[in-house]
Chain A
Amino acid sequence: MDFVNFLIQLLNSVQYGLLLFMLAAGLTLIFGIMGVVNLAHGSFYMLGAYLAWSLAAMTQSFTLAIILGTLLSVLFGLLLEWLLFRHFYKRDHLDQVLLTFGLIYVFEETRSILWGDDVHGVNIPNVLSASIPLTETLSYPVYRLFMSGVCLLLALGLYLLISKTRLGMKIRAGAFNHEMTEALGVNIKLIHALVFAMGVGLATIAGMVAAPVSSVYPNMGSQVLIMCFVVVVIGGIGSVKGALIAALLVGLVDTFGKVLLPQVAGMLVYVLMAIVLLYKPEGLFKN
C-alpha cells in the first residue's frame, strides 16, 4: 500500500471511529450513570438517518434538517425517558434487555409504516460536495472530513461539559453515588433525563451526519449497535475516554482489516475484543 492509499484508509478509519464514538458515548453514559442496557440505541441512529432524509426533502436544506432533527430527537429522548426508561433504572438487566428489544421492533415497524422500506440517498450539501485531490487519480471527499470535524467538535463539547461545568460535576457525582447526590439536593431525576436525551441526541446526530455517505435503509441500526457494544466493552462501561480510544481502535482494525485481510475482516474486531477481555475483563478504562 502506498502512502496516499494509506492516508485515505487512515482518514476513513478515523472518521468511522469517531462516528462510532458518537453512538458509544451515549450508550456508555446511559450504562454508567443509569445502569440501563439499551439495545434500542441503534434505532436512534436509524431514526437520525431517516430524519435527515425526510427533513432535508421537506425543508430543502441539509443544515436546517440537522438542526430540526437534533431538536426533535432530544425531545423524543426526554419523552421516552419519562414514559418508559425511568421506570427501568432499578429493574433487572433482563427486563431492560426485553424492553429495549421490544422497542427495536416498535421503532423499526413505525419507521416502515411512516417512511416505507425503500433505500434512500441523501444529497451532500453543495458547499461540502468537493473533493481534495491527492494524486492525479485519487482524491478525498470534503464531506468525510466535515463528518470527522463535527464528531470531534461534539466529542470536545462532551468532554468540556462533563469535566468543566457544574452540570458535568453533578452528572459525575450522580454516577458515583446517586443517593448521596440526591441527598445533597441535586435533582437527580432531571440529570438522568438530560443524560438520556443527550445520548439519544448524539446517536441521532451521528445518523443524520452519516446519512449522505451510508445512505438510508431499514435495519441500519442493528449492525452499528453491535459495533457500539464492542466499543463499550473494550473501552470499559461508563468511561467516555475509554469509548473514544476503543472507537478509534475499532475503526482502525475494521478499516485496515477490510483492506489487508478481507477474508477475515468481519471477525477481526471481535478477536480484538476477545484479546482485551482475556487480559482486562472490565475493559481498558474501567471507571
Chain B
Amino acid sequence: MSDSQAPLETLPRSLKILLGAGLLALAAFPFVGTDYYVQMVTRMMILAIFAMSLDLLQGVTGLVSLGHAAYFGVAGYVLAFLTPPGEPVSLWWTLPAAVGASALLALVIGFLVVRTHGIYFIMVTMAFAQMVFYVFFDNKALGGSDGIYINFKPEAILFDLENKKVFYFFTLALMVLVYGFLRRLLWSPFGRALAGIRVNEHRMRALGYGTFSHKLAAFSLAGALAGLAGFLWGAQSGYVNPELMGFHMSAHVIMMVILGGMGNFAGAIVGAFSFEYLLHVFKDLPAVGSFNLGKHWQLWMGLFIVALVILAPRGILGLFDSLLKGKAQHHD
C-alpha cells in the first residue's frame, strides 16, 4: 500500500485545533441558529455517528461494506415497533434494545460475510442489506413500502427530548462519546490488530491473530453504532421507511467517510457534515429558465462524486493535511 493511500491516523496539531473550534461552534450553535437549522445540524450529527461507525470498517479494518444502512435502519424500526401509538416509550430500555437488535443483525450477517474478501465482500454486504430492505418493503405487517410513523420521541425522564435544543445536545453528547470511544479503540491492541488486518491480513494470521473473530467483532460493533445513529434518526424524524436501509443510503455513508477522509473518525464527522450540506445546496439550486437545477440534484451530486474520486481520493482532511505539509500529493 503506497504512502499516499494510507489513512491519516494521527491528526496534526493544527487539525486538532480546527476540530476543537468546530466542537465549540457546535455547542454554541443552538443559541444562535433557528429551529430549522438546529434540526438540520442534529441530522448531520446523527449521520456523523453513522459515518464513524462505517469508518471503523472502511478506514480502519479495510472492509468496504455496501450494506451498512441495514443496521442503521433496523434500529429505527425497533424504536417504531416499541413506541405505542398513543404515548411515548422510555429511552432507557428502547435505546439498548435498538442498538442490540442492530448488533445482533450485524453479528448474523457478519458471520456470513467476513469470510469473503475484496469485491465479494462489497457485493455480499450489499446483497444482504437488500434482503433486509425487501423484508420490510414487502411485508405490510412491518410497515411495507410506506414505512411507520413514530408519534412520540422517547421519554428520558431526566431531560425532555421533545425539546429540539435538548435533542440537539443529547445527539452532540453521543457524537462526542462515540468519537472518544472509537479514538481510544483505534489505539488499543484491538484497534491495532484491525489496522494490521487492513494492511496485511495474511501476515496478521501468521502472527497468530484470529482475523475472523477480529473482523466479526468489528463488523458487529460497527453495526451496533450504526444502530445508535438509526435510533436517533427515527426519534428525530418521527418516521422510518425502507429507504433508510436502501442501497442509496449505504452508498451515501461510504461517500461521507471518503469525503472527509478515512481511518481517523474525525474525517467521518467532517464528511457527514459536508455531504449533508452539499445535498442541501444541490437540492436548493434555483431554476434557470424552464430548467430546474435543484430538481436534478442527483446529476450534480453524481458529477461531484466522480470529480471527487478523480481529484481528491484522500478526502477533505487529506487535502488539508497535504496543504499543511506543503507538499505535492501526486506521487504514484
A positions within 8 Å CB-CB of B:
31, 35, 37, 39, 84, 87, 92-95, 97-99, 101-110, 112-113, 222, 226, 229-230, 232-233, 237, 263, 265-267, 270, 273-274, 277-278, 281-283
List the A residue with the shortest CB-CB distance to B130: A226
Q: Please measure, in the bound complex, the distance between the C-alpha atom of A39 and the C-alpha atom of B130, giving whole angstroms.
A: 14
A93→B306 contact, CB < 8 A: no
Q: Does B119 contact A (CB under 8 A)?
A: yes
A-B interface contact total, Cβ < 8 Å: 117
In the complex with contacts A37-B122, A95-B309, A103-B302, A270-B127 CB distance below 8 A: yes
B interface bracket (residues with beta carbon within 8 Å of A): 35 or more
B123→A233 contact, CB < 8 A: yes
List the A residue with the shortest CB-CB distance to B307: A102
Q: Residue among A31, A99, A102 with the most chain B CB within 10 A?
A: A102
Q: Does B137 contact A (CB under 8 A)?
A: yes
Specify which chain A residues have a CB less than 8 angstroms from the CB of B131 in the assembled complex: 266-267, 270
Q: Does B17 contact A (CB under 8 A)?
A: no
A98→B308 contact, CB < 8 A: yes
Interface membership of chain B positions 133-153, coded 1 if the CB is closer than 8 angstroms to chain A and 0 otherwise: 011011100000000000000
Q: Please measure, in the bound complex, the distance between the C-alpha atom of A110 and the C-alpha atom of B313, giving whole angstroms.
A: 25
A98→B254 contact, CB < 8 A: yes
Specify which chain A residues have a CB less than 8 angstroms from the CB of B10 in the assembled complex: none
Interface membership of chain B positions 274-306, coded 1 if the CB is closer than 8 angstroms to chain A and 0 otherwise: 000000000000000000000010110111111
Q: Does B241 contact A (CB under 8 A)?
A: no
Stretch at the interface among B31-39, B74-82, B110-118, B179-187: B110-118
Q: Does B255 contact A (CB under 8 A)?
A: yes
B305→A105 contact, CB < 8 A: yes
Contact of B298 among A94, A109, A266 (CB under 8 A): A109
Q: Please measure, in the bound complex, the distance between the C-alpha atom of A13 and the C-alpha atom of B302, giving whole angstroms.
A: 35
Q: Please measure, in the bound complex, the distance between the C-alpha atom of A109 and the C-alpha atom of B283, giving whole angstroms.
A: 13
B64→A226 contact, CB < 8 A: no
In the complex with contacts A106-B299, A277-B112, A93-B124 CB distance below 8 A: no
Closest CB-CB distance, B164 to chain A, in whole Å?
A: 32
Contact of B124 among A97, A108, A109, A233 (CB under 8 A): A233
Interface membership of chain B positions 300-327, coded 1 if the CB is closer than 8 angstroms to chain A and 0 otherwise: 0111111011100100000000000000
Q: Does B258 contact A (CB under 8 A)?
A: yes
B309→A105 contact, CB < 8 A: no
Closest CB-CB distance, A90 to chain B, in whole Å?
A: 9
Q: Please measure, in the bound complex, the distance between the C-alpha atom of A232 and the C-alpha atom of B123, giving whole angstroms.
A: 9
Give the 10 A-B CB pairs with smallest separation, nearest first.
A105-B302, A102-B305, A109-B299, A270-B131, A266-B134, A106-B302, A102-B306, A105-B298, A109-B298, A229-B123
